[in-house]
Amino acid sequence: MHPNLSISIPAIRLIGNFTTGNSIHANMILKNGFLNYAYELLDNKKFVVVKEVCWALSNITAGTEEQILQFLIRKDLI
């Protein structure tokens, strides 16, 4: 959520990288509230921010059943 894109974009990309790892890494991202920020980030005017958030979310939805359910329960993301 940092206003400086040179900080926020690499941070979001790092989250995407963590979500490509094993389920332990993705669970860490979820437990630290990424989904709470993802909705707001999807409304960002910068395409690259939205693209990186979508990539991280797609990695989450390719994860375990529990991770997919955590995503789906966030009704404001559907």
- Better pLDDT: 74 or 44: 44
Of 45, 32, 33, 34, residue with least CA distance to 3: 45
> What are the boundaries of each domain within the chain?
8-77
Check if CATH label 1.25.10.10 holds for domain 8-77. yes
pTM as predicted: 0.86
In which band, very low, low, confident or very high, does the pLDDT at 73 lie, cut at 50, 70 and 90? Answer: confident
- Residue 63, Cα to own-chain centre: how many angstroms? 12
Residue type, 65: E
Using the predicted structure, report yes or no on whether residue 52 has a pLDDT greater than 90.
Answer: yes
Mean pLDDT (the chain) is 89
